[in-house]
A and B are shown apart, each in its own frame.
Chain A
Amino acid sequence: MKMQYDIVIVGAGLAGMRAAIAAAEKSKKLSIAILAKTYPIRCHSVCAEGGTAAVLREDDDYDLHAWDTIKGSDFLADQDAVEFFVRNAPKEILRLDNWGCPWSRREDGRIAQRAFGGHSVNRTVFAADRTGFHEVHTLYERLLIYDNVDIFSEYFLTNLIVEDGSIKGVATIELKSGDLVIFETKATVLATGGAGRLYGFTTYSHQVTGDGMAVAYRCGVPLKDMEFFQFHPTGLVPSGILMTEACRGEGGYLRNKFGERFMEKYAPEKMELAPRDVVSRAMWREIIEGRGIDSEFGSYIALDLTHLGEDKINERLPMIRDAAIKFAGVDPVDEPIPVRPVAHYTMGGIHSNKNCETQIAGLYVAGECACVSIHGANRLGSNSTIECLVFGKVAGEMAAEYALNSSGSHVPKDFILNEESRIFDHLLGRNGDENPYSLKKELNETMDKKLWIFRDRDGLSEAVGKIRELKERYSNVEINDKSKGFNTDLTSTLEIGYMLDLAEVVATAALYREESRGAHYRIDFPKRDDVNWLKHSLAYYTPEGPVFKYIPVTITKWKPTERKY
């Protein structure tokens, strides 16, 4: 089946929905489709908890937000992009306010802000500890007013159609019917999120499998800085559910088995509110040196909120309390929460610039699937949701502009037949003896072990070898469910294929980068090396594996210095 839209937005989380609104605001004449793998309000953005950073008050300014972000990035962020980003953040907060977001308030009725790691002032706007949830619902509800936007829920991305260097269409599986549905389009925005399910111990939703990244990569668009994966300090043990940084922003402590606030050894000034890479490394060191607290689910660190009192916890961290009780059997009012660093954010992504452009004309990217780059080697907490809003808007406007100035697209019949044959004949119809879920499990174990917080050459080489073996075995998987409608066995298997390609890029990029910067820490190269490595990695797809190029970082006015907290 074929459909035609001026603009197709793939991904209906914060970035995708913001892009759809921006495009619809640009012109009522444009026909816009937004595709969700689940339903828009079931996207992973709803899991963002702590808040959204923006300069709102007189105690703060753009240069300070930019500096905090750049220092946090360990100087790998492109500074022109960061400057653009911080200047466009405040209006996004106000737009959401005007659209109904229930921001938490100060007594005088103005929007409240809280402390967050790596930020010099209280800059994080929030809606209790359900910030992403409220932002998503606000955007979704706002989206409903635009008559020229059609929402397609439960459409699974399988491919992009690119001809002569420009985008022609998007290939999807409509889950309900199981049919291949082709969207012919003038412009496309990918806003498909990160790749966190590469890891086993992760804060990510099950559906976050890097589909857009992998599809773009296979179409020849390079992936940038994929070696940089963020480990959030506080994942609930054993599930990995996120315990927001706001727990520490509101005054929570981290303690080892002796009850010590060990952060005083690692970041004496910022303590628990040092950036995430610093805190996660400190916690992991405590654990491997035997100062974690033992449990049947492995060693953990105590996140202590007991001194905050029940009233503050109920007002500022209600969901955290609920989740700790439901998923760990611990009431944070009475006892510390068991936590461990957890895979949380993909700093890398589809190579783009601050206009959200890619190397394919008419293809734009925004949100976690993109790498602009504003986060460099380590993202600051509460900079991701605002990135989705700021760059979602840019991507939507750029796509609208492009679509208004281009003629219609036509997807050739051959492409459709080939895509159907690739998915339904070759993958679904194939016999084999590999269970795709076993491959995923082995991938998760490899990532959790070899591509974790501390890395070294031997481990990374082993990981690359293992991932290549898994890719080999993937060509022999068999999908047992041969039915058509709602075949999640088929879509899960496609996801696992995406994840294997992305894991190969992450592991190879990490092996090549022989320095320690931000979240990428090499035991064998423990220092940052600006002479050789102050540069972005770009991974290009080849059937034999990724090939790398490197491009310079844009430095405007902040020279790299030693990073201390």
Chain B
Amino acid sequence: MVEFRIRRFNGDETYWESFEVPTRRGMTVLEGLYYIKENIDSSLTFRASCRMGICGSCAVKINGRPKLACETQIASVGNKIILEPLDNFTVLKDLVTEFEGFFAKHKAVKPYLIRSDVSYEEPKELIQTPSELRNYYIFTLCIKCGACYSVCPAAATRDDCLGPAAMMAAYRFCADSRDRGEDARISIASKDLAVWRCHLAMECSEVCPKKAEPAKAIQLLRRKTAVNAIKSILRW
């Protein structure tokens, strides 16, 4: 038996509740949550879907660190599992937090390929070598789970700053050899609450469950913004 100690919220009050969960070898924290919901307290509320670390639904704070519940084995945490909703997000119910703002920030950086010479009706194959693909591929691995945002010190003090996932999305497209939309994204990234707001804490990369390196993307995006600023001063 393992103790699941969960920080709950029912819309009015926040409280802690403990549950005893029988475990087996290889059992994950998410399986523990389902055990509680289906056998002990069906009002326990959490998000989950793929249970294989790719849909990004189930990031929660596990013993203080943001992780995907589905890929965290109970045995790797210990005999007491302490679960809380992600920091820097508004809690809606139990472990469920408000994500609309997070997705709106992603949308704000124009996270799509921009070029004017392709047609919807008659698409054409664009050439991209494996090494050009490698330039940005790691930054495509973001599953939008919110773990990075929950540890970002800039996001903790200003809820209107872009945050790591959105800035990585901006860089991912700027670094894609097929893209022609860098200028539009650079002007967004140059604003007050974007790349220059980053505290260089690097925690975002530390907690990313897909090892997508948002901190590195932000630094590379900073370099692009800086070069762009110098160019505009010199009117190149």
Chain A interface (Cβ < 8 Å from any Cβ of B): 25, 38-39, 41-44, 46-47, 91, 94-95, 97-100, 102-111, 130, 133-134, 137, 141-142, 144-145, 153, 176, 205-207, 238-239, 241-242, 296, 319, 322-323, 326-329, 435, 437, 440-441, 479-481, 483, 485-489, 492
Contact = CB atoms under 8 A, between A and B. Distances in A.
Contacts of A485: 11, 92-93
Nearest to A176: B92
A104 B129 CA distance: 9
8 contacts: A38-B55, A43-B55, A97-B123, A102-B133, A104-B130, A206-B50, A481-B43, A489-B37
Contact of B125 (A94, A206, A479): A94
A278 B26 CA distance: 31
A228 B127 CA distance: 40
A98 B170 CA distance: 17
B92 A486 contact: yes
Q: Interface size bucket, B side? A: 35 or more
Given A98-B113, A134-B140, A239 B51 contact: yes
Nearest to B112: A141
B232 interface: no
Contacts, number: 161
Contact of B26 (A145, A206, A238, A479): A238
B159 interface: no
A91 B123 contact: yes
Given A141-B112, A207-B49, A435-B42, 8 more contacts: A94-B123, A97-B125, A98-B123, A109-B132, A134-B140, A145-B112, A440-B38, A479-B42
A239 B26 CA distance: 9
Contacts of A105: 128-130, 133
B52 A241 contact: yes
B56 A483 contact: no
Nearest to A484: B11
B111 interface: yes
A42 B57 contact: yes
A110 to B, nearest CB: 6
Interface stretch (B99-107, B198-206, B219-227): B99-107
A109 B10 contact: no
Contacts of B99: 39, 153
Given A94-B125, A328-B26, A47 B113 contact: no
Interface of B: 10-11, 25-26, 28, 37-39, 41-43, 45, 47-57, 71, 73, 92-93, 96, 99-100, 103, 107, 111-113, 115, 118, 120, 123-130, 132-133, 136-137, 140-141, 143-144, 173, 176, 178-179
Given A109-B127, A205-B49, A319-B54, A329 B26 contact: yes
Contacts of B143: 41, 46, 133
Contacts of B118: 98
B54 A206 contact: no
Contact of A42 (B55, B123, B133): B55
A44 B50 contact: yes
Nearest to B107: A144
A323 B123 contact: no
Contacts of B45: 481, 486-488
A256 to B, nearest CB: 23
B113 A46 contact: no
A206 B48 CA distance: 7
A319 B212 CA distance: 13
B190 to A, nearest CB: 21
Contacts of A328: 26
B85 to A, nearest CB: 12
A481 B115 CA distance: 50
Nearest to B133: A105
Given A47-B54, A327-B71, A486 B112 contact: no
A239 B50 CA distance: 11
Given A91-B123, A100-B113, A483-B43, A107 B50 contact: no
Q: Which 6 A-B pairs have the closest CB atoms?
A: A100-B113, A481-B43, A437-B38, A94-B123, A109-B127, A141-B112
B129 A137 contact: no
Nearest to A127: B140
B49 A38 contact: yes
Nearest to B176: A100
Nearest to A151: B103
A296 B25 contact: yes
Contacts of B54: 46-47, 130, 133, 319
Given A42-B55, A47-B55, A205-B51, A110 B92 contact: no
A480 B43 contact: yes
Given A46-B54, A207-B49, A100 B144 contact: no
Contact of A486 (B93, B129, B144): B93
A492 B120 CA distance: 39
Contacts of A133: 54, 143
Contacts of B51: 205-206, 239, 241
Contacts of A130: 54, 141
A28 B118 CA distance: 19
A39 B103 contact: yes
A544 to B, nearest CB: 30
Nearest to B115: A98
Nearest to B50: A205
Nearest to A91: B123
A107 B130 CA distance: 6
A359 to B, nearest CB: 31
Contacts of A107: 129-130
B42 A480 contact: yes
A97 B179 CA distance: 11
A231 B68 CA distance: 28
Contacts of A207: 49
A504 B39 CA distance: 25
A508 B28 CA distance: 36
A145 B107 CA distance: 9
A91 B119 CA distance: 11
Contact of A38 (B47, B93, B115): B47
A104 B133 contact: yes
Contacts of B25: 296
A368 to B, nearest CB: 15
Contacts of B126: 97-98
B37 to A, nearest CB: 7
B70 to A, nearest CB: 9
A50 to B, nearest CB: 14
B213 to A, nearest CB: 15
Contacts of A141: 111-112
A402 to B, nearest CB: 20
A41 B140 contact: no
Nearest to B113: A100
Contacts of B26: 238-239, 327-329
A483 to B, nearest CB: 7
Nearest to B48: A206
